[in-house]
A and B are shown apart, each in its own frame.
Chain A
């Protein structure tokens, strides 16, 4: 899975532009499969991408259009998918979202994720040995009935709280 170190993220969205461009030759926030959620008032930036979660909620697709690849990433069958939106609703962190008639979710760029090189802060790395281990159960309860964008925000707020505790502790020690 893609390992994200939010402490390093500057919020520049370079991962988004490079993801989007690699997949379509165009750039745009919604055309990316990794999306940086920015909570400006808290100084927090969190790249949100498929965590290949233990619960793999999205695979409960009513059309059975979603499967898991050997790398652990999510694969959507374009022939089976009828754009019902269940995957979007099922994912607890907004990592899958329908745009222009396609459910956008991280496919690890076929094994060479472009976001990793694009990020000059070194906030993104790939570890293929970790898959289906992270649990998103707690987020699932928190983000029921939210839009993908709202879910990403809720998730970033959760990660952000932890980051801020560390920052404040570090600052107190250095002062």
Chain B
């Protein structure tokens, strides 16, 4: 018997309705570990490269890891992967909640969906029983309604549902998949991929348990991790505010996106901060599976109530688009979650339009009469609805900022803040240089989670010297040693994704190290994981991802940042005068990876 793992891989071909269960191969898992690593390998081996992501040849994978659903704290995640409809390169997105663990309890490590259903359907999985069911009656329903309706239909409130909303059905390129209503697979348009396969939801019920090869050893290692989490200096703030603590923190560092990254500070930050949210609207903490931080929150405003928001949503719908209205951001968080629209990419299209209007490149007449002045909440609400329905100018917004700027031209491309088609997250890289490098090289586009080099923000100079041989690594404004840091945290990030652990904990709080992870994997699965095999596997996956992306058509010229971050210094605050010398950093990074000057892996 295979410990730790679910034990089976499920293949569902939506075109033919064929369902196939394969046994998980321990040797294969030793190479890929699980989660994102396993998904990436499956795409590398089986996905045709030159396909339109929206056609049925594309694959949709949902993967969990060997410790998902176990005693291991924050082992809540699952990763959805495929060729991204948003960027045309590798796409994947992870979410916490309770869906991942349920896949394990049902006895699976990976769900593979291929083909395209003739009409809207959902797939119901209860252990060995797998069924493709009609979802015609759920057409156009939002995520909250869909989740509730499926649970009612099958008379079981404990079912775990990963569903899309109208945005996904309408093939908005940055549509999300949601589990537990508010845990979002947001980036790279995995909701659009669901929609393109006519798949409204995946519903899972598992009655099994997750085993460990050596339960006592496994428990001891989990206790070490728990101890590291509980004694962490950021524990209390993360518990109180979660990622929303970043509003004030980044403002203090002068890197909070304000008016579409034209400024790094907002004088109204106290109106939209995590502190204000916690004080005025939060009614209680919420947590993903087996978490001891419980960083999420349930909030009630006079208009809406919901779980969330995370920092990226809060910032995307406040300072990034020039709004100081917290209640509006909370309302949009709930609305976007219901409709299944990614807040980051939606916020970027709006921010881009607002800056173009401010600069006089476009006016109302270019945008169906909508008035894109900073913080205009009527316009924001209107354009969000047009995007979801793919109506009028909304149909162009729905293809993402890269497409929109290329279509409308007039130099507006310069203000489209994306890398490889994926929008820049809410952290100005000019004051956090390693993050800048991360956005440039990340295998899914401008993204922090591929490496999240949070280390450079922690001022741990002695630790920097010990770990990386250079004190500057802990200095966020220095360029020195950042390629070394990113190479390290990129592996650490992938490891958390393979274990399907929370990145806030494994990576930002730096509680996961390779040795402990190898011990944990060994105790959990009984397979011969060592620090060396784990690192080898992580390096292989990163190289494979790169090769896959090269096949998808990326070039070394795309390993860069938008003009603003490399040429326009910040004008005020703690990161004043800074830009990112990204070209040199990328060259360093290639060298450290053993890639050639064109960023091609050599092994």
Main secondary structure of the interface of A (DSSP, over half): mixed
A167 to B300, CA, bound (A): 8
Q: Which residues of chain A are near B102, meaning CB under 8 Å?
A: 29
Q: Are B212 and A26 in contact (CB under 8 A)?
A: yes
Of A15-23, A66-74, A81-89, the one touching chain B: A15-23
Q: Which residues of chain B are near A27, meaning CB under 8 Å?
A: 69-71, 209-210
A42 to B321, CA, bound (A): 30
Could you tell me which residues of chain B, from 505 to 536, have a CB within 8 Å of some CB in chain A? none
The one of A26, A29, A38, A171 that contacts B300, using a Cβ cutoff of 8 Å: A171
Asked if A13 lies at the interface with its beta carbon under 8 angstroms from chain B, I say yes
Asked if B577 lies at the interface with its beta carbon under 8 angstroms from chain A, I say no
Of B73, B215, B300, B302, chain A has the most CB atoms within 10 Å of the CB of: B300
Q: Mark A26-64, 1 if CB is under 8 A from B, else 0.
A: 111111000001111101010000000000000000000
Q: Are A28 and B208 in contact (CB under 8 A)?
A: yes
Asked if A135 lies at the interface with its beta carbon under 8 angstroms from chain B, I say no
Q: Which residues of chain A are near B158, meaning CB under 8 Å?
A: 29, 37, 149, 153
Asked if B283 lies at the interface with its beta carbon under 8 angstroms from chain A, I say yes
A42 to B284, CA, bound (A): 12
Asked if B140 lies at the interface with its beta carbon under 8 angstroms from chain A, I say no
Of A18, A31, A41, chain B has the most CB atoms within 10 Å of the CB of: A41
Of A9, A21, A167, chain B has the most CB atoms within 10 Å of the CB of: A21
Q: Which residues of chain A are near B296, meaning CB under 8 Å?
A: 10
A38 to B287, CA, bound (A): 11
Give the nearest-CB partner of A37 in chain B.
B157
Give the nearest-CB partner of A40 in chain B.
B181
Q: Mark B297-329, 1 if CB is under 8 A from A, else 0.
A: 010101001110000000000000000000000
Main secondary structure of the interface of B (DSSP, over half): loop
Q: Are A21 and B215 in contact (CB under 8 A)?
A: yes
A64 to B362, CA, bound (A): 81
Asked if B108 lies at the interface with its beta carbon under 8 angstroms from chain A, I say no
Number of interface residues of A (CB under 8 A): 39
Q: Which residues of chain B are near A40, meaning CB under 8 Å?
A: 147, 180-182, 307
The one of A10, A20, A121 that contacts B209, using a Cβ cutoff of 8 Å: A20
Given contacts A7-B284, A40-B181, A43-B307, contact A12 B291 (CB under 8 A): yes
Q: Are A10 and B294 in contact (CB under 8 A)?
A: yes
A141 CB → nearest B CB, Å = 20
Asked if A92 lies at the interface with its beta carbon under 8 angstroms from chain B, I say no
A41 to B161, CA, bound (A): 13
Q: Which residues of chain A are near B470, meaning CB under 8 Å?
A: none
Q: Are A14 and B290 in contact (CB under 8 A)?
A: yes
Q: Mark A138-175, 1 if CB is under 8 A from B, else 0.
A: 00000000000110010000000000000110110011
The one of B69, B157, B281 that contacts A150, using a Cβ cutoff of 8 Å: B157
Q: Which residues of chain B are near A41, meaning CB under 8 Å?
A: 144, 147-148, 181
Given contacts A12-B289, A18-B71, contact A26 B180 (CB under 8 A): no
Q: Which residues of chain B are near A39, meaning CB under 8 Å?
A: 157
Given contacts A27-B209, A168-B300, A174-B280, contact A11 B287 (CB under 8 A): yes
Asked if A137 lies at the interface with its beta carbon under 8 angstroms from chain B, I say no
Give the nearest-CB partner of B285 in chain A.
A10
A153 to B305, CA, bound (A): 21
A38 to B289, CA, bound (A): 12
B244 CB → nearest A CB, Å = 16
8 A-B pairs with C-beta separation under 8 A: A10-B287, A17-B70, A21-B219, A26-B212, A26-B215, A27-B69, A40-B182, A120-B230
Where the two chains meet, the residues of A that have a C-beta atom closer than 8 Å to any C-beta of B are: 7-14, 17-18, 20-21, 24-31, 37-41, 43, 45, 99, 120-121, 149-150, 153, 167-168, 170-171, 174-175
Known: A14-B73, A167-B300. 9 other contacts (CB 8 A): A13-B290, A14-B287, A14-B290, A17-B71, A149-B158, A153-B158, A171-B283, A171-B302, A175-B302
